[in-house]
Amino acid sequence: MLKKIKVQDIQVGMYIHEVCGSWMDHPFWQKAFKLTKEKDLKALSAYHIKEVWIDTDKGLDVGADATSVSVEEEKTQINSKLQQIAAQAKKLIPRASLQDELVRARKILSKAKKGVISMFNEARMGKAVEVGHAAEMVEEINQSITRNPDALLSLVRMKNATDYTYMHSIAVSGLMLALGKELGLDSALLHEAGIAGLLHDVGKIFVPGKILNKTGQLTSEEFAIMKTHPQQGWDLLKRSHDINDIALDVCLHHHERIDGKGYPNQLSGEALSLFARMGAICDVYDAITSTRCYKASWEPAESLRKMAEWKEGQFDETLFSAFVKTIGIYPSGTLVKLKSGRLAVVTEQTEASLLKPVVKVFFSTNSMAHIMPQVVDLSQSPDTIISKEDPQQWGFDLGKYTAL
Cis peptide before 264 (omega within 30 of 0): yes
Contacts of residue 357, defined as CB under 8 A and 6 or more positions apart, other chains included, come to: 328, 330, 332, 346, 347, 348, 349, 350, 378
Reported pTM = 0.84
Boundary residue ending a domain (24, 43, 66): 66
Confidence of residue 29 (pLDDT cuts 50, 70, 90): low
Task: Read off the pLDDT band of 78 (50, 70, 90).
Answer: confident
Mean pLDDT of the chain: 88
136 and 24 within one domain: no
123 and 216 fall within a common domain: yes
pLDDT (average), residues 78-93: 72
Let me know whether 339 and 300 are in one domain. no
What is the rounded distance in angstroms from the CA atom of residue 261 to the CA atom of residue 67? 23
- For residue 203, the enclosing domain spans 98-327
pLDDT at 244 over 80: yes
In a domain, 87, yes or no: no
Question: Tell me: the pLDDT tens digits for 262-321?
Answer: 999 999 999 999 999 999 999 999 998 887 766 778 888 888 988 988 877 889 999 999
CB burial string 209-240: b at 16+ within 10 A, e below: eeebebeebbeeebbebbbbbbbbbbebbeeb
256: in domain: yes
Percent of the chain scored above 90 by pLDDT?
A: 50
The rounded distance, in Å, linking the Cα atoms of 44 and 370 is: 45
**Does 154 map to a domain?**
yes
Does 75 fall in a domain? no
Phi, psi torsion values for 124, nearest 5 degrees: -60, -30
The pLDDT value recorded for residue 398 is 72
Classify residue 32: in a domain, yes or no: yes
User: Both 250 and 224 in a single domain?
Assistant: yes
In terms of domains, do 241 and 161 share one? yes
CATH number at residue 295: 1.10.3210.10
Q: Round to whole Å and give the CA distance between 114 and 310.
A: 34
Look at residue 235 and tell me if it is in a domain. yes
Does 168 share its domain with 277?
yes
Task: List, for residues 33-66, the tens digit of each pLDDT value.
Answer: 888 888 877 777 777 677 888 888 899 888 877 7
Q: Is 134 in the same domain as 176?
A: yes
**Could you give the number of structural domains in the chain?**
3
Of the candidates 393, 306, 284, the residue with the CA atom closest to the CA atom of residue 18: 306
Report yes or no on 257 lying in a domain.
yes
In the predicted model, what is the mean pLDDT of residues 206-229? 89
